[in-house]
Amino acid sequence: MGFAKEKQDKKGLIKKLRFEKRRRDFTLNAVGIGFLVIGILFVLAVLFLRGAMPSLMELGLLGGVPLGVIVMMLFFPRWSAGIKMYLLVLCIAGFVGLPQFGLTILFASLAVIIAPSIQKLDEWERAIVLRFGRFKTVRGPGLFTLIPLMDRVAKTVDIRIRVTDFSAQETLTLDSVTVTVDAFCFWLVWDPQKAVLEVEDYQEAVVLASKAALRNAVSSNTLSTFLEHGDIIENQIQAEVDKQTTEWGITVQYIEITDIQIPEALQDSLSRLAQAEREKKGRILLAEAEVEIARKLEEAVQIYAKTEPAMKLKILSILNEGLKAGNSMMLVPNSITEELKAGGIFGLEALNEVKKGTRE
């Protein structure tokens, strides 16, 4: 009753109560089992050469002994389970009175010692080896051996870059806006010894530290700052989390904000605000263009006032553009005709004189 009450109290205080994982001292693999088979075949070969080969029924019973021990240690990968299985085989063999009692004990001993002692790790894995409960060394990758009953693999660490997604849940920004932010965290373990010996669950510690840093970044910035300068916020979160995890032998390489969710009512307000801002910028650009055009026109007027031929050429270009548009008749002020009259062959009077000369 006391233990159950204490467990209920912990559930009330801790949001996510973790259950301890079953302890593993080693991992059975094909290499270790292969060496076990080689050892058994070697013993049988020696017996065959001596002429003391057991019968087929005795071979079946002898083969079942290491198989049973291996199956037992697959479900309970601990040295203590192997010893218990060994003692159980010893008691059964002594009680039943097997004819090959010595071979039975030998095969059981090989199964308990050889198969778990040979461990294999991939290129990206590292094993933390303890000897009598104290840290001994970091092993891997490849094959390595454990001293039976003395060494055990406390944990196998993956040193590749990992991607963990997390959310800051609902958090208030500096301007009191409720937002939900999702992000990715890219991190890796660079010191397996620290990651295992300093932290109980380093993966959960990285996620919780990232969540706390993200909530802190959201609450210390306004929504507009968060939306406009997301890269700065990401660098701030990365630096804060990496400062904590470096002591655990973990490096946070990058944090990327993937989604920012805000209330729907605020989304409408922000949409209207953005539309008004775009209209404001459009009108400002139009006004600036009008000012620039007026300045250019002022410069053109000054040039035309100083140079009379340039003004006449401008008038002719206007008339030419009108005629190109397909207009058969154009109305022009008298001042333009008077200006063109004194302009030589390009004037209307000169044009008439040319026509008369042609007729004559």
Q: Phi, psi at residue 68, to the nearest 5°?
A: -65, -40
Whether residue 172 sits in one domain with residue 126: no
CATH number, domain with residue 196: 3.30.479.30
* pLDDT on residue 138: 93
Whether residue 212 sits in one domain with residue 125: no
pLDDT at 29 over 70: yes
* pLDDT on residue 346: 46
In a domain, 296, yes or no: no
Torsion of the alpha carbons at 328, 333, 339 and 340, rounded to the nearest 10: 10
Whether residue 110 sits in one domain with residue 61: yes
Average pLDDT over residues 99-123: 81
**Amino acid identity, position 49:** L
In a domain, 132, yes or no: yes
Whether residue 177 sits in one domain with residue 145: no
Residue 341: domain span: 307-355
Whether residue 110 sits in one domain with residue 31: yes
Whether residue 172 sits in one domain with residue 149: no
pLDDT in tens, 268-321: 666 777 777 788 888 888 888 888 888 887 887 777 777 777 766 776 676 667
Q: What percent of the chain has pLDDT over 70?
A: 75
Query: CA 314, CA 322: separation in Å to the nearest integer?
Result: 13
pLDDT at 3 over 50: no
Average pLDDT over residues 80-106: 75
Whether residue 144 sits in one domain with residue 25: yes
Whether residue 30 sits in one domain with residue 51: yes
In a domain, 102, yes or no: yes
In a domain, 284, yes or no: no
In a domain, 125, yes or no: yes
Q: What percent of the chain has pLDDT over 90?
A: 11
Least confident of 108-112, 115-119, 184-188: 108-112
Whether residue 249 sits in one domain with residue 130: no
What is the average pLDDT score of the chain? 77
Q: What is the b/e burial string over 127-147, where b = at least 16 CB atoms within 10 angstroms of the residue's CB?
A: bbbbeeeeebeebbeeebebe
* pLDDT on residue 191: 92
Query: CA 20, CA 340: separation in Å to the nearest integer?
Result: 103
Residue ending a domain, among 155, 179, 197, is 155
Whether residue 174 sits in one domain with residue 139: no
The number of distinct structural domains making up the chain is 3
Whether residue 151 sits in one domain with residue 135: yes
- Provide the 8-state DSSP code for 344: G
In a domain, 16, yes or no: no
In a domain, 268, yes or no: no
* pLDDT on residue 135: 92
Q: Phi, psi at residue 155, to the nearest 5°?
A: -165, 150
Whether residue 137 sits in one domain with residue 45: yes
* pLDDT on residue 12: 46
In order, the DSSP letters of 50-76 are: HT-PPPHHHHHHHHHHHHHHHHHHHHS
Residue ending a domain, among 136, 155, 174, is 155
